[in-house]
């Protein structure tokens, strides 16, 4: 358990720069990090569920769904900042193994919100929400060793 705490909080690296010492000096306690993670993740789930319920509102339902669903996903991803810290989260998001997935997720977030707020296109908003879900799934799989390979193999077998 201590090793997990060290890995998630970014304390397992050997090189100690002045910046990392400042970040560690101002970091939250492990209990506070867990509470922040749970609260932020719960807000993300609540927003996503609220967006799903708002889908059935006449006229503006799909747009409200797109907005709340996107903000819910952003809050859910943002919740992991409490576990590992903002710098380590950004470094891990843009590692070569998950760079494309991260870019796809961010682009889907932006396109979903653009289709809801500026283009007023409900069909595009729904398509980008679906793509957002797929991109987030692929991004999440990048944190599980060999999960992407297993999914690729499964699809190859199913489609062959």
Give which of 107, 40, 45, 108 is closest to 78, Cα–Cα.
40
103-116 pLDDT per residue, tens: 999 999 999 999 98
Residue 37 confidence (pLDDT) above 50? yes
Per-residue model confidence as pLDDT tens digits over 116-129: 888 888 889 889 98
pLDDT category of residue 144 using cuts at 50, 70 and 90: confident
Widest pairwise Cα distance in the chain: 56
Cβ 44 vs Cβ 79: under 8 Å: yes
């Amino acid at each position: 358990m201590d090793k997990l705490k060290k890995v998630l909080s970014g304390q397992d690296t050997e090189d100690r720069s002045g910046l990392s010492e400042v970040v560690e000096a101002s970091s939250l306690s492990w209990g506070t990090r867990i509470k922040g993670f749970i609260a932020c993740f719960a807000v993300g789930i609540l927003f996503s569920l609220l967006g799903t319920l708002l889908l059935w509102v006449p006229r503006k339902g799909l747009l409200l769904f797109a907005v709340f669903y996107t903000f819910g996903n952003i809050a859910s991803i943002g919740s992991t900042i409490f576990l590992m810290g903002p710098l380590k989260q950004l470094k891990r998001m843009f590692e070569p193994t998950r760079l494309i997935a991260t870019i796809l997720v961010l682009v889907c977030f932006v396109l979903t919100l653009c289709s809801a707020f500026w283009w007023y296109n409900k069909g595009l908003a729904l398509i980008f929400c679906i793509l957002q879900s797929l991109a987030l799934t692929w991004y999440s799989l990048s944190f599980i060793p060999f999960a992407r390979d297993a999914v690729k193999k499964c699809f190859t077998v199913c489609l062959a």
